[in-house]
Structure 1
């Protein structure tokens, strides 16, 4: 059993989907959990499901909000040991169809938010002897057919590069940084399946395990294990929690 007792975790986009699945697993392992997101009602329901979890409302695209999210977590729990950068606006579509606004929103909510939040939590982690940062990325960045995924892939690859750099720069501070690329049956994935039934069917046939992961049992519990001391020598890597589909070589 993974034991994260005494650890404090901040999960952005933690009110639903993969974020909630990860938050649930971290809480089950004993961590105290702060959820962040843009909708108070969604966060309140999620926090109620997790014993003793709390939440703070904020948009990670906003620099001031990022600071308030981190400060609120430290004020509530006394520090931060685990950061999960999960919140993301997804700029899907072919290059000629993705607007500048959607592309910018993808970068602001993805790599720029992760960049800000990683820098904000690093001092708190150092003061507690280290920590673990997870950046949620995607195998869409290494698809065999990138049509329709260029903007999204660019956003997620930027997060991987930032994670590698942070792992290199902060390793001596015992701060580990990992990229996690999940395939999970979240609400967003369900909407994509409904809108792209034929493409989704073809996509699922390429997953060796033949199914999407469960946000809690398949993705969340793996993240909880990676956050534990049992994975203490692993940093700077991309972990494909995708049923064996992607190759990040």
Structure 2
């Protein structure tokens, strides 16, 4: 999938380096969704680097309705069936009520603070094409107080734009509310090498004791499954044939 990236000034006016007010923030997101809808570039992934801001941005879209009456009925039916296993009181939790309202209008929030059952519902509705603003999509938009990001962050987010087998082109929008940074910085962000992944796996005494209690999994098995071990094996494997040939030659 070919991926295009561009920067958007939604109001056409010069940007000032000041935090936007909630009203301005709401207007920007509404304008962005209208902008994409008119160009048939939804669904869109909207990245926000704060769970609280994700929720706030979703609430600010109360006037945005992206689903048809038929889609609303399908979403409502699926949502009710999926949550029927919960107790009556649990079905009235604020997060569930909020998500029910958002989903009916084609909007969803997906982060680590969302209840697991709601995450599953969101993902399944998206797979049916009923969520218009979430997960892998035709377009990707992300906002930072500073437009510059690490290459790894940009690659991870830009890679979500464009659905394999459905879209020939993925569109990435960097929403600059405080002016566009120097082109050299943007070029380094977009074309630079991604940050090397480093394993955070640490074998502790507590982990060893817990593993010893589980007969089905040994400590060595856990070590073999770690990312650090896989990475180490990947580095060793390419040189293994040359090493074997060298040993044979010496013998």
TM-score past 0.5 threshold: no
Larger radius of gyration: 2
| Larger strand fraction of residues | 1
TM-score, structure 1 normalization:
0.31
